[in-house]
């Protein structure tokens, strides 16, 4: 994959574990604040078998979404969701914050 900005990671291993967890914490807090706990958990649970495909879809849409969101955090979040354990951790964090 071509990456014009070397500061934006292209593989999950480039993102430190602490940064992965911090980003998941922020997403979980955002979801709970907006009272989207039940729909988010339902969506994440039903999409678990397809999390890699979903993360790739997020990466494919990144040029359009970067107009709204900060590109590096969005890219990192898409990479973090590739790993099954991170999806489960996000569900646990949402439940813990609610």
pLDDT reported for residue 67? 63
* Per-residue pLDDT tens listing for the chain (98 residues): 445 566 778 888 889 999 999 999 999 999 999 999 999 999 889 888 888 888 888 878 877 776 656 768 888 888 898 899 999 999 999 999 98
Hey, what are 95's tokens?
Answer: 């439940």
Residues in the chain, total = 98
Residue 2: predicted pLDDT:
46
Residue spans of the domains in the chain: they are: 16-97
Asked whether 62 and 35 are in contact (CB, 8 A), the reply is: no
* 88-to-55, 70, 76, 94, 95 alpha-carbon distances in Å: 14, 24, 17, 10, 11
pLDDT for residue 6:
64
pLDDT score of 69: 66
């Amino acid at each position: 994959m071509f990456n014009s900005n070397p500061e934006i990671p292209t593989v999950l291993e480039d993102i430190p574990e602490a940064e992965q967890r911090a980003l998941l914490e922020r997403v979980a807090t955002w979801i709970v604040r907006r009272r989207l706990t039940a729909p988010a958990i339902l969506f994440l649970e039903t999409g678990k078998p397809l999390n890699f495909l979903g993360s790739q879809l997020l990466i494919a849409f990144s040029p359009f979404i970067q107009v709204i969101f900060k590109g590096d955090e969005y890219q990192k979040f898409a990479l973090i969701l590739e790993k099954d354990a991170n999806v489960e951790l996000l569900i646990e964090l949402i439940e813990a914050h609610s």
